[in-house]
Amino acid sequence: MAAVTALRSSCRTAGRLVCIHRVRSCSGIRFIKSKYVCVFDKSALKFSHQQRLFRTSAVSCGQIVQFKLSDIGEGITEVTVKEWYIKEGDSVSQFDSICEVQSDKASVTITSRYDGIIRKLHYNLDEIAYVGKPLVDIEIDASKGVSPEEDVVETPPMSHEEHTHQEIKGHKTLATPAVRRLAMENNIKLSEVVGTGKDNRILKEDILNYLAKQTGAILPPSPKAEIIPPLPKSETLPAAPKDRARKIPVPVSRPIVFSGKDKTEPVTGFHKAMVKTMSAALKIPHFGYCDEIDLTQLVQLREELKPLAQVRGVKLSFMPFFIKAASLGLLQYPILNASLDESCQNVTYKASHNIGVAMDTEQGLIVPNVKNVQVCSVFEIASELNRLQSLGSAGQLGTNDLTGGTFTLSNIGTIGGTYAKPVILPPEVAIGALGKIQVLPRFNGKGEVFKAQIMNVSWSADHRIIDGATMARFSNLWKSYLENPASMLLDLK
């Protein structure tokens, strides 16, 4: 495949026109139709297309053109360079943005007039650039034969040809001169081709796809595969277009081209902090304990209380009840509201029940806490939750709201799920994850089936200081408060 190697070793700059010329001149390879010539281009091009913004190690074989800063208008002679969109070594296509300059309240986007590789930037950021003086040096392929510099900004030189300015009622089709020529040679109207490039620009691949669809032909595979079958197939075809059309759904080893790329980003900011916290949590030996709670009575109670809270300007969800019941439970099992020091020498029983509520925000998981739940009423908890939720969604939670938590509840059920395996947030020793409330059939005392509102809870606790029995008893107490809300009245402080 001499043609291919010749192609590959040529400048990988976007001199698409050049590539066509090169391949055409290779007489060693036969093609049925001239449009297949483009196949080689296509694969090589795809390569260069993807590599557009990478430093290419192309052999320097082109002419260096100094792209001068064109007239801005209004008699302006100098501008300040504010942002470079490219750097030395990048490939650019005609009409790609090169930089942003500013002059007297006007921001101007300078676009490239040529396809090529950037070889030199004449200015640094915030330097003054002069109209008429070189802005960047672009290396373009020699055989392209670019016309000498013209200072005035003009529409591309081919604008007088038929196919270039295909403006359709306010929509200008963008395509490089090479692509336009290809379209013209194949009698394709640019307006009918789907553009997949930037700003709906029509690329070489789009023309090829269009051609494939139009003729019902199957594009031969990439040169490496070296499969000849498509050729004889087409030759034996006296088929009517219908037959051809039927053939389309059966591609012959056409390589699946997926142009997505992996993206690597550094872990910074908040995520870095999460990595640290969760790695520290790993050191805690977790054990889990799960149960199901019948919330039928609570659901009814909340329905009754919702309008009362609404009148006072507070939205009442289930969380205030869960939080208050947890606090009542912690009064009986204070070890769940404790903290173990780093050396595991001392356990500190925290006096305040600052119960954290996991919140999902745009940047990830944050856990503000309601302070001193042990002395708050359900209504007060609800109102505080409202405040934290609105601050959380506005991204305005303060350090005080986010620190000092002693116990955490995560209502993952609002999103979905039943059982979970929550991770304890140090320096706490326990956490509970609440699943969604489902309507399920259960048996009552009389052995009858009734509709029950069931929610699952999954607790995790630090097994260094908490044992299963303690967790189970706490959970049972919490469960009894919620299954029979009236019993909370007895113990409310």
Partner 1 sequence: MVLRSSLKNCLQLSCILRTPKAGFRSTTSGSLIIQSTSNDVYQNLAVEDWIHDHMNLENRQVLFLWRNTPAVVIGRHQNPWQECNLRLLRQKNIKLARRRSGGGTVYHDLGNINLTFFTSRKKYERMENLKLVVRALKALRPQLDVHVTDRYDILLDRHYKISGTAAKLGRTSAYHHCTLLCNADKVVLSSVLKSPYKGLKSNATPSVPASVKNLFEEDPSLTSEMLLDAIAEEYATQHQTDHHITLINPADETVLPGINNKTKELQTWEWVYGKTPKFSVSTCFNMVYKDSVLDVKVDMDVKHGRIEVCNIDLPEQWLPPALSSELVKSLTGSKFCPNEITTLVTTLLRVCPQDEELQSRWNLLCENMIMLM
Residues that bind partner 1 (CB under 8 A): 72-74, 82-83, 95, 100, 102-109, 111, 125-126, 153, 155, 167-173, 191-196, 199-200, 202, 266, 268-270, 272-274, 276-277, 280, 339, 341-342, 348, 363-364, 366, 394-400, 402-403, 425-427
- Matching residue, tokens 């029509």: 202
d(CA 340, CA 64) in angstroms, rounded, equals: 69
Q: What does R_g of the chain's alpha carbons equal in angstroms?
A: 35
d(CA 196, CA 165) in angstroms, rounded, equals: 18
Q: Give whichever of 328 and 367 is closer to partner 1, judged by the CB atom.
A: 367
CB of 475 to partner 1, least distance (A): 24
DSSP string, 341-392: -TTS--EEE-SS--EEE-EEETTEEE--EETTGGG--HHHHHHHHHHHHHHH
Cβ-contact 98, 135 below 8 angstroms: yes
Cβ-contact 216, 245 below 8 angstroms: yes
CB of 358 to partner 1, least distance (A): 13
Cβ-contact 355, 406 below 8 angstroms: yes
CB of 126 to partner 1, least distance (A): 5
DSSP letter (8 states) at residue 175: B
Return the H-helix or E-strand segment holding 325. Answer: helix 319-332
3-state secondary structure (DSSP) of residue 475: helix
Question: What is the number of other CB atoms lying within 10 angstroms of the CB of residue 271?
Answer: 13
CB of 109 to partner 1, least distance (A): 5
**What token pair was written down for 432?**
């509970």
CB of 197 to partner 1, least distance (A): 11
Amino acid (1-letter code) at residue 185: E
CB of 255 to partner 1, least distance (A): 23
Q: Per DSSP, what are the bridge partners of residue 79?
A: 129
Please give the angle made by the CA atoms of 334, 339 and 345, to the nearest 5 degrees. Answer: 115
d(CA 244, CA 254) in angstroms, rounded, equals: 17
DSSP letter (8 states) at residue 172: E
3-state secondary structure (DSSP) of residue 294: strand
Q: Is 463 a catalytic residue?
A: yes
CB of 170 to partner 1, least distance (A): 5
- Kindly provide the b/e burial profile for residues 278-287, where b requires at least 16 CB atoms within 10 angstroms of the residue's own CB: eeebeebebe
Q: Give whichever of 129 and 309 is closer to partner 1, judged by the CB atom.
A: 129
Q: Give whichever of 62 and 356 is closer to partner 1, judged by the CB atom.
A: 356
Compute, in degrees rounded to 10, the torsion defined by CA atoms 38, 41, 47, 51.
-110
DSSP letter (8 states) at residue 202: B
CB of 84 to partner 1, least distance (A): 12
CB of 425 to partner 1, least distance (A): 6
d(CA 455, CA 440) in angstroms, rounded, equals: 10
Cβ-contact 153, 70 below 8 angstroms: yes
Q: What region, left, alpha or beta, does residue 132 occupy, with left being phi > 0 and alpha being psi -120 to 50 degrees?
A: left
Q: Give whichever of 413 and 426 is closer to partner 1, judged by the CB atom.
A: 426
Q: Give whichever of 293 and 338 is closer to partner 1, judged by the CB atom.
A: 338
104, 151, 467, 491: the catalytic one is: 467
Q: Give whichever of 60 and 396 is closer to partner 1, judged by the CB atom.
A: 396
Active site residues: 463, 467
